[in-house]
Amino acid sequence: MNYVTRKDFLRWSVMGSVGLYLNSCHTKPTKENIQSENVIINDTSQRSTDLSPDVTFYKRSDPEYEKLRTGFNKRIQKFPLIIAQCKSSQDISVAVKYAQKNNLAVSVKSGGHCFEGFSSNNDGLVIDLSLMNTIESIDEHTVKVGPGCTLAQLNDHLLPQNKIIPAGSCGGVGIGGLTLGGGYGLFSRKYGLTCDSLLDITFIDGNGNILTGSQEKDLLWACRGGENGNFGIVSEMIFKTYDTPAAFRSHRFKSHKADAAHVEKMLEKWFEVTAELPLSCFSAFVLNNKTVYILLTDFEHHEETVEAFKTSLGPLTDTIQIGKPQPLEQALKVFRGKSAPLFFKNSSAGLYENYETIRPFIKEVISKVIETPGMIYQINTLGGNIQQPEFEKTSAYPHRALPYLSELQTYWEVASRSKYYETKFEEVQSIFKANNITAQYRNYPDIQFNDWEKSYYGKSYERLQQIKTKYDPHNIFRYEQSVRSNV
Ligand SMILES: Cc1cc2nc3c(=O)[nH]c(=O)nc-3n(C[C@H](O)[C@H](O)[C@H](O)COP(=O)(O)OP(=O)(O)OC[C@H]3O[C@@H](n4cnc5c(N)ncnc54)[C@H](O)[C@@H]3O)c2cc1C
């Protein structure tokens, strides 16, 4: 049952995010036009075609189609002509060549959690990687992971071996999409973004060539924050792993029935107290209607940070919960979130340098969120080792200098509420736009961002365009906000 309570919102929003606006609800195809499409693609009626022993092509009339076409965001409904479910790099190569021959746009789907549904399309081909979810240890500190592996599967495999990859925590999110857009989580301030632990890739380009990151350095650079279905498909990922910490603590500070002035005061204090956060800590500031919820986590033991939070925020909060040390496996379960699809519109609401970035206008944002039940405004701490110069050099992720990532979220329960929330959402986003908040996180896309190229990719965009030209010259990988060739 997809019923979202305020408690869910709070739990969710701790590490969650999501969002697109494209109200392009495509009409479900009729039987007639399915048949006419068969004329164009006449070999898709076979499950396992003779093209490859493992790739399976599903068309609209197949019973599996409906489940496979569905993404995590129920607000976005798309209807690809064909879904190719692949089990290997060779399968993907076959599917790409097939799309090229039949002039079909290709979308790539790993975990299907893209806020804006960019992992699907209307009338094109979707390459589904959900079965490519194996995890294989190479040595004590290196692991090979399929892009379709979810974060829950990854943690279930790695944690019993006392290993982690610094990624997000929501169980259903795919490691494929998360890593290729950057990827942050509870361990990022110490170990960097998820893409900073990516050592190598296997990659299928727009001509169906199977390549590796160790041979194609530009591709590996792009896959660290700049390759969400822009010019090819990552079929294997090799990651560096880290040892799990001995214990994990999470602390919560809450203020109920807060008015805008109170929220503003708390936010300013929160920015102050997080400015010098130890690397092992993560914090999130969450405003959900009139409730402020602050999370502080730590996988070492920085008593002085907890004390600083208590001193600074204690007088402004109603309840403080100081967590006991827990084994990591147990502690992370709280952050897994829901796995069933939801209606939502979520997106990045800017990356900030500090409180001064938003001080002039934030009260207006806070007031709007307070008067809109179902809307959440959240800011997460990045910074720390994410800012290491070495990571800056070796990755396309462009926003390392900005240590705060904000997200605007809205959740609802029935399709008929979509228009209302989309409108409310855009009202808040327009405040950020009017105040020149432009740096945005690619993994939290918004179809309404104007200058999305620079917003997501900043100074990396031109190099990404060259890579697009080289590896996908016919632009078969394309969606509303995909990198465009510069020739
Ligand atoms: C509930 C929830 C919680 C989240 N929590 C976090 C978090 O803690 N930290 C964080 O950083 N982000 C978080 N995100 C955002 C998340 O990183 C993005 O939504 C991510 O793109 C999802 O990846 P996916 O594989 O599940 O999605 P998909 O929809 O399958 O893919 C997302 C994008 O990546 C492309 N892509 C996917 N796989 C490949 C591939 N193998 N090769 C090439 N392109 C590919 C797709 O084409 C699409 O453009 C969260 C999202 C949700 C919905």
Mean pLDDT, residues 149-157 taken together: 96
Classify domain 21-72+75-128 at the CATH class level: alpha beta
182 Cα nearest atom in ligand 1 = 11
pLDDT attached to residue 336: 84
Tell me what the pLDDT averaged over the chain comes to: 90
pLDDT attached to residue 23: 25
The model's pLDDT over 475-484, given as tens digits with 9 standing for 90+, comes to: 999 999 999 9
Please tell me if the CB atom of residue 225 comes closer than 6 angstroms to any atom of ligand 1.
no
pLDDT attached to residue 53: 58
Which has the higher per-residue pLDDT, 39 or 449? 449
Please tell me if the CB atom of residue 234 comes closer than 6 angstroms to any atom of ligand 1.
yes
- Contact of 26 with 8, CB cutoff 8 Å: no
Nearest to 115 by CA among 378, 442, 397: 442
Q: How far is the C-alpha of 407 from the C-alpha of 411, rounded, in Å?
A: 13
167 Cα nearest atom in ligand 1 = 9
Residue 77, H or E segment: none
pLDDT attached to residue 20: 25
For the sheet containing 198-205, what is the strand order?
135-139, 142-145, 232-240, 198-205, 210-212
Ligand 1 atom 9: residue of nearest CA: 168
Cα 350 to ligand 1 centroid, rounded to whole Å:
18
Mutate to test the pocket of ligand 1, among 228, 411, 447, 478 (most ligand atoms within 8 A of CB): 228
pLDDT attached to residue 169: 87
pLDDT over 90 for what percent of the chain? 87
Q: Which two tokens stand for residue 406?
A: 């904000």
CB atoms within 10 A of CB 382: 21
pLDDT attached to residue 8: 52
Nearest to 410 by CA among 377, 361, 443: 377
Mean pLDDT, residues 275-303 taken together: 97
- Give the right CATH number for 246-457 from 3.40.462.20, 1.10.390.10, 3.40.1390.10, 1.10.3720.10: 3.40.462.20
Name the residue with tokens 């996908």: 472
Confidence bin at 335 (pLDDT 50/70/90): confident
Please tell me if the CB atom of residue 72 comes closer than 6 angstroms to any atom of ligand 1.
yes
pLDDT attached to residue 333: 87
Ligand 1 atom 35: residue of nearest CA: 228
The model's pLDDT over 217-243, given as tens digits with 9 standing for 90+, comes to: 999 999 999 999 999 999 999 999 999
Report the range of poorest mean pLDDT among 52-56, 173-177, 215-219, 372-376. 52-56
223 Cα nearest atom in ligand 1 = 43
Helices (DSSP H) in 314-361: which residue ranges? 328-333
Please tell me if the CB atom of residue 176 comes closer than 6 angstroms to any atom of ligand 1.
yes
Q: Label residues 197-208 b or e (16+ Cβ within 10 Å = b).
A: bbbbbbbbbbeb
Please tell me if the CB atom of residue 458 comes closer than 6 angstroms to any atom of ligand 1.
no
The model's pLDDT over 47-104, given as tens digits with 9 standing for 90+, comes to: 444 455 589 999 999 999 999 999 999 999 999 999 999 999 999 999 999 999 999 9
Cα 446 to ligand 1 centroid, rounded to whole Å:
13
Q: What is the fold of 135-244?
A: 3.30.465
Please tell me if the CB atom of residue 15 comes closer than 6 angstroms to any atom of ligand 1.
yes
Q: How far is the C-alpha of 347 from the C-alpha of 62, rounded, in Å?
A: 33
Residue 407, H or E segment: strand 404-412
Nearest to 480 by CA among 31, 124, 57, 9: 124
Domain ranges of the chain: 21-72+75-128, 135-244, 246-457
Report the range of poorest mean pLDDT among 3-12, 108-117, 328-337, 460-469. 3-12
Q: How far is the C-alpha of 22 from the C-alpha of 185, rounded, in Å?
A: 28
Q: Which two tokens stand for residue 403?
A: 């240590």
pLDDT over 70 for what percent of the chain? 89
